[in-house]
Amino acid sequence: TYASPVTASNSIILHRGNVTFTMNATHTANALFRIGDTLEFPVLTLATGTLQTSAPNAVLGNGLDGIGTFNINDSDALFQTTTATSDITVGQLGGGVMNITNGGQVIGSDDIIIGNQATATGTVTVNGFNPLPAPGVTSHVRTTAANGDIIVGLSGRGTINIQAGGKVTSSDDIWIASN
């Protein structure tokens, strides 16, 4: 569990294990944000707080044989990219899984790509259910750039599950099986 008041780091790279972030202050990863570079199955859970990256891209499942999982699972848990051209890629070369539950929020400043390369498998689940103490807050995934797309299956296999009132909003297009 990471609950440090440190507000910035150079990179967040998770190769193996299970890590939970309980953030007391906004934390920014400036250079790299990658989960799942190797033949391992790391899991990062953002339990509370804001985690953001100004890296060129936030990538889950970067390695050919790895599976990177990122859970954003509370009404005060927010993950976002902050650079205008930063993409969120769920399944770059390997497997990527992103679960947004209990009112969690994900904001991609540019594109959100699920299943990028031909070898990739990406799955995003947005479950809107939020029990007490914050009823009415629903899980939401969105892009903010004028040309911010959500692409499900660019060259790889992509799946997006929208459940129980979850929201997915693109500021431009939503592409299904793009290539």
Summarised one tens digit per residue, pLDDT across range 9-52 is 888 888 888 999 888 888 898 888 999 987 789 999 999 999 99
User: What integer pLDDT is reported at residue 66 of this predicted model?
Assistant: 85
Closest CA to 156 of 98, 116, 96: 116
Residue entry with tokens 């906004």: 26
Predicted confidence at residue 72, as pLDDT, reads 96
Please give the pLDDT value at position 3: 60
For residues 58 and 173, give the distance between their C-alpha atoms in angstroms, rounded to a whole number. 20
Whole-prediction pTM: 0.92
Looking at residue 128, its pLDDT comes to: 83
Question: Which amino acid, residue 115?
Answer: G
Q: What is the mean pLDDT of residues 144-150?
A: 93
**Distance between CA atoms of 10 and 97, rounded to whole angstroms?**
23
Q: Which residue has the tokens 């190797």?
A: 38
Q: Residue 9's pLDDT is what?
A: 83
Predicted confidence at residue 2, as pLDDT, reads 61
pLDDT of residue 1: 56
In this model, does residue 169 exceed pLDDT 80?
yes
User: pLDDT tens digits for 83-134?
Assistant: 989 999 999 999 999 999 999 999 999 999 999 999 999 999 999 876 655 6
